[in-house]
């Protein structure tokens, strides 16, 4: 049976980590996968996570199964983090999933059952896994205009014009904050206008928010989503604890559905549980147990919020330092847009060939679509990376 299989194509992000690891050059810099590094170039276990781990080890008495939905206290915590204060709190349900990609797939499968003819509109460009996951769920995918290659900002007019054609069988996938890969976020006005379009045309918004806390702060980053959730009948949400709790390898995320009534979302949750059963049965527990432990404890929550805000601040500083270096040492303001982008990523506007040159000639690993991960930089890399960017541009 295997003789019929084609040679595998490599994942454009995950394959970079392997190539980076195998690169012997000491000056190499990993700006590929979306992982945060501190100034020592390490991805630390966050302080609150470390403390919660001690609590879990000391208090956990069993490793028996938890349940199809994972940890319900964790699920409620995710709902609270994203939607607290909105009218959606009375008509929402969530399941814990293996990361946000697991959540994307569960919601993709749910849409395929609930509304088989769904077309999912994704931004051009979008997170590299959005299209494969939606297509794997059997859904059609269409792109809406998003990023202007000239301004390196969102082309709001074009985006809204495209979305005005989305109708009642359509789902519009938005990035809650820290757009992946561009770093260019929609502003609050755009959130309001997309909400009006959803009300008028009947499409369902779907918000993937995997970087809450890395843009402008935990509350601010959920502002657009909250406005939307207050003003539409149905909304799908995926979230991740990979980045804001640093729990990458624990695969901790959630799929959340907001509907017209609690009864509707209970039915949706029931279907999600059946889907989970036939896919992986239950999500892994450890990450969710840590997040729950943190969010149920005021002191641990304070420690977590403090460190997350330090990480967010560090990203802003790195963006500024890189732009300062480009301006001061290379006399170019061509890359000033880097400072206006949000979260971990920035699209440089480089072609795949230029990204290959960065990798082959300088050992700087960004994604082929031109994305670099600012959170992968350390302060000492900045002159080297700025110099390479200028040479390749």
Closest distance of CB 16 from ligand LMR, Å: 9
Closest distance of CB 184 from ligand LMR, Å: 15
14 vs 89, which CB is nearer to ligand LMR? 14
- Asked if 34 is part of the footprint of ligand LMR (rule: CB under 6 A), the reply reads yes
179 vs 269, which CB is nearer to ligand LMR? 179
Query: Number of residues in contact with ligand LMR, rule: CB under 6 A?
Result: 7
CB 236 within 8 A of CB 207: yes
Closest distance of CB 59 from ligand LMR, Å: 31
Closest distance of CB 242 from ligand LMR, Å: 7
Distances (CA, A) of 316 to 21, 110, 305: 27, 38, 17
Site for ligand LMR in 169-228 (CB under 6 A): 180
- Asked if 13 is part of the footprint of ligand LMR (rule: CB under 6 A), the reply reads yes
* Paired strand residues for 174: 207
Nearest 10 degrees: CA dihedral of 102, 104, 109, 114?
140
Stretch 82-111: interaction string toward ligand LMR, x if CB under 6 A: -------------------x----------
Nearest-angstrom CA–CA distance, 81 and 294? 12
CB 109 within 8 A of CB 276: no
The one among 96, 118, 129, 231 contacting ligand LMR by CB under 6 A: 129
Residue 143 host element (H or E): strand 140-145
CB 253 within 8 A of CB 276: no
Closest distance of CB 258 from ligand LMR, Å: 23
The one among 31, 33, 197, 255 contacting ligand LMR by CB under 6 A: 33
Closest distance of CB 14 from ligand LMR, Å: 7
Nearest-angstrom CA–CA distance, 125 and 372? 14
Closest distance of CB 33 from ligand LMR, Å: 4
CB 86 within 8 A of CB 237: no
List the end-to-end C-alpha distance of the chain, in Å, as a whole number.
Answer: 47
- Asked if 363 is part of the footprint of ligand LMR (rule: CB under 6 A), the reply reads no
101 vs 123, which CB is nearer to ligand LMR? 101
Nearest-angstrom CA–CA distance, 272 and 303? 33
Q: Is the peptide bond before 76 cis (omega within 30 degrees of 0)?
A: no
Q: What is the largest CA-CA distance in the chain?
A: 61
102 vs 259, which CB is nearer to ligand LMR? 102
Nearest-angstrom CA–CA distance, 70 and 99? 12
- Asked if 376 is part of the footprint of ligand LMR (rule: CB under 6 A), the reply reads no
DSSP three-state, residue 205:
strand
Cβ contacts of residue 61 below 8 Å, gap of 6+? none
117 vs 279, which CB is nearer to ligand LMR? 279
Closest distance of CB 192 from ligand LMR, Å: 27
129 vs 244, which CB is nearer to ligand LMR? 129
- Asked if 389 is part of the footprint of ligand LMR (rule: CB under 6 A), the reply reads no
Cβ contacts of residue 150 below 8 Å, gap of 6+? none
- The residues binding ligand LMR (CB under 6 A) are 13, 33-34, 101, 127, 129, 180
């Amino acid at each position: 049976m295997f003789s019929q299989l084609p040679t595998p194509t490599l994942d454009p992000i995950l394959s970079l980590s392997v190539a980076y690891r195998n690169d012997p050059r000491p000056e190499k810099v990993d700006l590929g996968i979306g992982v945060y590094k501190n100034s020592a170039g390490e991805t630390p276990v966050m302080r609150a996570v470390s403390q919660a781990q001690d609590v879990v080890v000391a208090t956990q008495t069993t490793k028996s199964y938890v349940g199809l939905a994972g940890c319900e206290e964790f699920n409620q915590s995710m709902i609270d983090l994203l939607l607290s204060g909105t009218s959606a709190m009375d008509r929402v349900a969530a399941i814990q999933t293996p990361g946000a990609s697991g959540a994307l797939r569960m919601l993709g499968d749910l849409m395929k059952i609930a509304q088989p003819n769904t077309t999912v509109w994704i931004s051009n460009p979008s997170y590299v896994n959005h299209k494969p996951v939606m297509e794997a769920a059997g859904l059609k995918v269409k792109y809406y205009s998003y990023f202007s290659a000239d301004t390196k900002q969102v082309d709001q007019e074009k985006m809204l014009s495209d979305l005005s054609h989305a109708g009642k069988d359509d789902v519009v996938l938005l990035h809650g904050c820290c757009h992946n890969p561009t770093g260019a976020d929609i502003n609050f006005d755009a959130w309001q206008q997309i909400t009006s379009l959803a009300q008028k045309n009947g499409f369902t918004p779907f918000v993937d928010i995997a970087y809450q806390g890395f843009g402008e702060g935990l509350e601010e980053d959920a502002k657009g989503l909250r406005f939307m959730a207050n003003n539409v009948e149905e909304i799908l949400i995926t979230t991740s604890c990979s980045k804001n709790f640093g729990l990458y390898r624990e695969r901790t995320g959630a799929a959340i559905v907001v509907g017209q009534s609690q009864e509707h979302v209970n039915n949706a949750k029931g279907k999600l549980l059946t889907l989970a059963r036939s896919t992986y049965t239950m999500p892994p527990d450890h990450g969710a147990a840590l997040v729950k432990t943190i969010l149920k404890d005021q002191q641990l929550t304070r420690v977590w919020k403090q460190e997350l805000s330090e990480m967010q601040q560090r990203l802003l500083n790195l963006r500024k330092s890189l732009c300062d270096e480009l301006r001061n040492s290379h006399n170019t303001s061509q890359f000033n847009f880097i400072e206006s982008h949000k979260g971990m990523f920035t699209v440089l506007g480089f072609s795949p060939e230029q990204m290959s040159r960065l990798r082959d000639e300088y050992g700087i690993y960004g994604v082929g679509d031109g994305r670099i991960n600012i959170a992968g930089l350390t302060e000492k890399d900045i002159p080297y990376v700025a110099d390479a960017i200028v040479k390749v541009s």
